[in-house]
Amino acid sequence: MRKRDFLLLLIMLISLTIEAQNTLADIIGDVTLPHEGKPHGVPEDWDWACAPRVGLAAPPDNWTAAIAWGQLYEWKEGNPAINTRVQIKDLEMYYLSRTDSNWYLLQESTLVEGAAYREDFANDENKPADQRLEADGSLSVTAGNGYNFHFWPSNGRITFPLDEVMGCFVTVKARLILDDPDGVDDRNTARYLMGVGGDWWESLNAVWDNWTTNADMGIGRFRFVSSEWNSYNMISIPLELIERFPPPFESLPTQSDEYLHSSFQFATVYPNPIQDQVYLEYELSHSNYLEIDLLFNNGQKISSLYAGWQLAGSHKFQWDASAYAPGIYFLRYRVGNQIKVQQLIKVSN
């Protein structure tokens, strides 16, 4: 092989691994332009059947939870491909802060979870989807025969800082892959549509009650999925604010490494060894989302002791350990991308 031919081949192989860059024009288009194609089985009189829908930029008063979600549909005119799947990854939600006008990450999930719902969501009917775990930890699925694939982050709903949210930005990546790598490559005939949105919820545990316990942030534009990675978006702030405060275009951390490492001051636990009532004291130098999990000695999670947004400052948390058997346990603290683990010794009550 000549040197020139080798370099051309190398460039082509490298290009296949590069994900398409999300742009501000893409994001604006995903909330302003008509769908590239109409989703199959969605009633024509539904407003989001033809174009994106604007919802509530900020949550209703006293509501405390939110979730990003996405939808995969076949095209209304049909989908002749039979050996094509859709790979989905990196579902993320950011919020625009009223305090400093910066975007902050609320939730992210490489692996999404979901189900096959009736395309018109009648009676909330759903069944397990045709799902497959891919080598990078993401999911691939198919849709059709009267069902879509409705998905959300694997960690479910999250809380957000009250009275702080000006609007939200939801984004996900998707591409077409082969169901059987040794089969016919029919990706050029595949007609799958992808769109994302977000919901406000009254609380983390509120049960769906015909839209009285949740509200729509917005539904983004449906676009066809191609063989290349592309981003699909929804943003709930007005156009003038999008241009003034553009959201993150890539999966970038919302704080610097210095921020992440300085945010959480290691907790004091007392008494330790523990018997029944346990007290944790810790300090956050920045407001952030905090998770505290209890683990067995082998690292397996037993329960979530706390999960929610906390303001900067000193905090004290009480936990009743009386129901647990004597032994060695661990507390795992997760703040942003920062994780710390602390050993506990449980003795008889």
Q: What is the mean pLDDT of residues 155-163?
A: 90
Q: 202 and 181 in one domain? A: yes
User: What does the alpha-carbon distance between residue 293 and residue 115 come to, in Å, rounded to a whole number?
Assistant: 27
Whether 150 is covered by a domain: the verdict is yes
Q: 291 and 151 in one domain? A: no
pLDDT of res. 268 = 84
Q: 43 and 175 in one domain? A: yes
Q: Report whether 148 contacts 126 (CB < 8 A).
A: no
pLDDT of res. 74 = 98
Q: Report whether 97 contacts 164 (CB < 8 A).
A: yes
Cis peptide before 43 (omega within 30 of 0): no
Q: Read off the pTM.
A: 0.68
User: What does the alpha-carbon distance between residue 322 and residue 318 come to, in Å, rounded to a whole number?
Assistant: 12
Q: 329 and 206 in one domain? A: no
DSSP state letter for 144: B
pLDDT of res. 16 = 40
User: What does the alpha-carbon distance between residue 59 and residue 92 come to, in Å, rounded to a whole number?
Assistant: 18
Last-in-domain residue among 188, 214, 244? 244
Q: Is the pLDDT of residue 144 over 90?
A: yes
pLDDT of res. 348 = 78
Last-in-domain residue among 214, 244, 274? 244
Q: Enter the tokens of residue 243.
A: 């241009």
Q: 276 and 228 in one domain? A: no
Q: What is the mean pLDDT of residues 171-180?
A: 96
User: What does the alpha-carbon distance between residue 306 and residue 2 come to, in Å, rounded to a whole number?
Assistant: 61
Of the pLDDT bands very low, low, confident and very high (cuts 50, 70, 90), residue 253 is very low
**What 3-state DSSP class applies to 261?**
helix
Which of 94-108, 156-170, 285-299, 318-332 shows the lowest per-residue confidence on average (mean pLDDT)? 285-299
Q: 210 and 89 in one domain? A: yes
Which of 65-74, 139-148, 210-219, 284-293 shows the lowest per-residue confidence on average (mean pLDDT)? 284-293
Q: 104 and 37 in one domain? A: yes
Q: 124 and 51 in one domain? A: yes
Whether 35 is covered by a domain: the verdict is yes
Q: 67 and 168 in one domain? A: yes
Whether 302 is covered by a domain: the verdict is yes
pLDDT of res. 264 = 64
User: What does the alpha-carbon distance between residue 308 and residue 305 come to, in Å, rounded to a whole number?
Assistant: 10
Mean pLDDT of the chain: 85
Domain count along the chain: 2
Whether 7 is covered by a domain: the verdict is no
Q: 93 and 187 in one domain? A: yes
327 vs 145, more confident: 145
What range does the domain containing 165 cover?
Answer: 18-244
Q: What is the mean pLDDT of residues 228-243?
A: 92
- Only one residue has tokens 């939200």, namely 168
Q: 297 and 233 in one domain? A: no
CATH number for the domain spanning 302: value is 2.60.40.1930
User: What does the alpha-carbon distance between residue 156 and residue 152 come to, in Å, rounded to a whole number?
Assistant: 7
Whether 250 is covered by a domain: the verdict is no
Of the pLDDT bands very low, low, confident and very high (cuts 50, 70, 90), residue 262 is very low
| b/e burial code for range 65-91 (CB count within 10 A of at least 16 → b) | bbbbbbbbbbbbeebebebbbbbbbbb
Q: Report whether 110 contacts 138 (CB < 8 A).
A: yes
User: What does the alpha-carbon distance between residue 256 and residue 263 come to, in Å, rounded to a whole number?
Assistant: 11
Q: What is the mean pLDDT of residues 10-36?
A: 70
Q: What is the mean pLDDT of residues 101-120?
A: 93
Q: Is the pLDDT of residue 121 over 60?
A: yes
Q: Enter the tokens of residue 343.
A: 């050993």
User: Residue 193 forms beta bridges with which residues?
Assistant: 73, 224
- Only one residue has tokens 């992210």, namely 108
Whether 251 is covered by a domain: the verdict is no
Last-in-domain residue among 244, 267, 299? 244
Whether 88 is covered by a domain: the verdict is yes
Q: Report whether 334 contacts 304 (CB < 8 A).
A: no
Cα dihedral sign for 131, 135, 138, 143? negative
Of the pLDDT bands very low, low, confident and very high (cuts 50, 70, 90), residue 198 is very high
Q: Report whether 225 contacts 188 (CB < 8 A).
A: no
pLDDT of res. 339 = 65
214 vs 242, more confident: 214
Whether 6 is covered by a domain: the verdict is no
Q: CA geometry: angle at 314 spanning 98 and 277, to 5°?
A: 130
User: What does the alpha-carbon distance between residue 290 and residue 137 come to, in Å, rounded to a whole number?
Assistant: 24
DSSP state letter for 274: B
Distances 180 to 51, 85, 108, 177, 192 between C-alpha atoms, Å: 34, 9, 29, 9, 18
Q: 293 and 232 in one domain? A: no
Q: Is the pLDDT of residue 337 over 60?
A: no
pLDDT of res. 20 = 59
Q: What is the mean pLDDT of residues 157-185?
A: 94
